[in-house]
Structure 1
Amino acid sequence: METIKEEWLRFFEGDRDGHSWWSRKKALWRERNAEIVRIMGCGQEYREFRYDGKRFVRYLLHLSFVIKQKEHFHMEELVIPYEFRLKNGQVTDHREVPKPPQSEKKLDMLLRGEEDAGDYRFSYDRLAAVQYAERWWNSYNPAYRKFDVDCTNYVSQCMRAGGAPMHGQPVRDRGWWYSGDNWSYSWAVAHSLRWYLSGSTKGLQGREVENAEELIPGDVICYDFQGDGRWDHNTIVVAKDAYGMPLVNAHTDNSRNRYWSYEDSAAWTPEISYKFFRIGAD
């Protein structure tokens, strides 16, 4: 759709205030001694309605960034839902589509596994987890439910593809599991998975490390964007940049090979907190 193409080009060219996620993305890679050498993009309309003489359009903006760091090149991809209003041929109110809140009946429970959990270890196939993350980064496996806020569901699927064992079924506030039309809170809710990984000693296990550079592909990063103790987002590490720092895949705003810190995210704030988890026994 030509209107969408023209609009997203204006959106980038019109960024003059230095505060948007696009400005932060450019600054982020400059700080990493890297350069965005090519940008490709397209928009795909997925919803339209008319009201009171106005036309409202929602579209998915699919961006690809070719990044050069030293002699290393990689491509980052990002899909963001946007919307705008069209009246008399003029575009107004262009913005990112707000994210729906993620709900949980017992969100404040700190899920730390079962009381009778033993010192169980499992073999984690990191390659299989990363291959799954690459296969489904911008689509949805029909074997699982798709959530409006899908980041944790996606990361859980990746870990399951890597052989992480499930346990706790059918009690939703115990363990980590998915079965048919039911699942644990820790499978699909960012806050719950963060606390589950901090304490589980049975089934899926994670070991917290201090720094992002200690992570390797297949590991998980948790994000508290506001720094208020409510964990909002999870990603899976799929690669490392030229300096050995993680690049991650994620759902909700579907993204591939994104720099781990999310400083270019619209959700980022200076108060952001992170947790870094090595998955498995290694």
Structure 2
Amino acid sequence: MTAVVPPEPAAGRLHYASLGSGSKGNATLVSDGETRLLVDCGFGLKETERRLARLGLHPRQLDAVLVTHEHGDHVRGVGPLARRHGLPVYLTPGTWLSGRLGELPHRHWITPQSSFCIQGIDIDPVTVPHDAREPVQFRLAAAGRRLGLLTDLGHPSEHVVEAFQGCDALILECNHDVHLLETGPYPPSLRRRVGGQWGHLANAQAAWLLQRLGLDRLQRIVCSHLSEHNNRPELALEALTPLLDGDPSRLTVAAQDQGLDWQAIT
């Protein structure tokens, strides 16, 4: 049976999709129907091309790649993809100085807290607490709508709470359940890193952050970067659903293998 390719987003709305999210690789697509951005690329070149094709895109249709930080599950495919297809890459100097991306044909610096624009999409890079050299996450806006991308965050700092106010959709890290992390297979040093102030958000922390941001404007919330060993989709949804008066219709999960098909912010 031939796979059904989802239609490419039409102009005039902000859309997003996930190639996959988790410890084995992360990549998020953002499009306003004319400009197409890939945020991170933690998959190998062939796998990235396959996952893009599943969403109806060829790499040469991308306008740029944005990089949040240098960890392998976010940059494994950035260099190969950029070199093969001549794509511009936007990243902080700290991320570049990690030495993990190799040569890039078109390199552009990101200055945290300094907005910039790629064609029709406005981008706000936000410094976040994470154990990388100069990590950022992004708030992206087009067609009168705002998308927040928060996938690697040690704790919900006041700076993050302030920066991500007023989003219409949020891709939010729900990395681990505290009990599963404490009783799981990770050695103590890795448990301390993941659960520490510079590691990853627990489900309960994600719920707390959502409460601080407010839910009235949020149309869609995507649980992302779930740990393969220390979380389960039902636990992430269980933590966030009570904030929505028990109505989970605004919640979804970006899976590691299947990702998430195109979603429109209306």
* TM-score, length of structure 1 as denominator length: 0.24
Task: Give the number of the structure whose alpha-carbon radius of gyration is greater.
Answer: 1
Q: What is the TM-score with the length of structure 2 in the denominator?
A: 0.25
1 or 2, which has the higher helix percentage? Answer: 2
Looking at secondary structure, tell me which structure has more strand per residue.
Answer: 1
